[in-house]
Amino acid sequence: MSEALPIKKTESIFDELRNMQDRIMRRAYDIFRTNGDSASDLDNWLAAERELIRKPPIELTEKDNAFIVSVEMPGVSAKDLNIEVTPDEMLVRAETREERNEEKNKVHLSEIKTGSLFRSITFPKRINTDNIKAELKNGKLKVTAPVAVAKQVPVRAA
């Protein structure tokens, strides 16, 4: 069963990207303070990024004058998904949670990661933000974004 998702048109996703970078930077600094000089700045940054966000795999294709973005989002429900678009970019964010009752179950191993999924996509061409469609089905998000068509403006002689 697929579910249509709301899409928020925005002027810029720059603020969201900057906020995420600030969170990563603060965590990388905390890691540096804990580990000292034992790791490089890049190693600290990458460790912080791995802790705070997951970048889901995507595929961006163009067909019939539209971009189709497929994003693997296992374990994400539509209510936890947020999609923002500009004519040039798209930002996909989601929160995943794993609820378990540890009083009844003894967990021996868990590789299930919860937290923030965060992915920004820059389109190779501008899109028409008025006609975007998104649906989530079987853990896969599919966004169809039509390519913007240039409008010809008639010129009248004065």
In a domain, 153, yes or no: no
pLDDT in tens, 23-34: 878 877 787 878
In a domain, 66, yes or no: yes
Contact 126, 88 (CB under 8 A): yes
In a domain, 92, yes or no: yes
CA distance 53 to 131: 29
Write out the E strands in the chain: 3-4, 8-9, 53-54, 58-63, 66-72, 81-85, 89-96, 115-122, 133-137, 140-146
Q: What pTM, to 2 d.p., does this model score?
A: 0.67
Chain position carrying tokens 């019939």: 64
In a domain, 78, yes or no: yes
- Residue 49: give the domain boundaries: 3-98+106-146
In a domain, 63, yes or no: yes
- CATH number, domain with residue 126: 2.60.40.790
CA distance 88 to 148: 10
H helix or E strand, kind and range, residue 23: helix 14-35
pLDDT in tens, 71-113: 998 888 888 898 999 999 999 988 776 666 666 777 777 766 6
Most confident stretch, 1-15, 94-108, 128-142 = 128-142
CA 54 to mean position of chain CA atoms: 9
Supply the pLDDT for residue 136: 93
In a domain, 155, yes or no: no
Neighbours of 116 (CB within 10 A): 13
Which phi-psi region, left, alpha or beta, contains residue 11 (left: φ > 0; alpha: ψ -120 to 50)?
alpha
Domain count, the chain: 1
In a domain, 77, yes or no: yes
Higher pLDDT among residues 6 and 19, named by residue: 19
In a domain, 67, yes or no: yes
Contact 2, 136 (CB under 8 A): yes
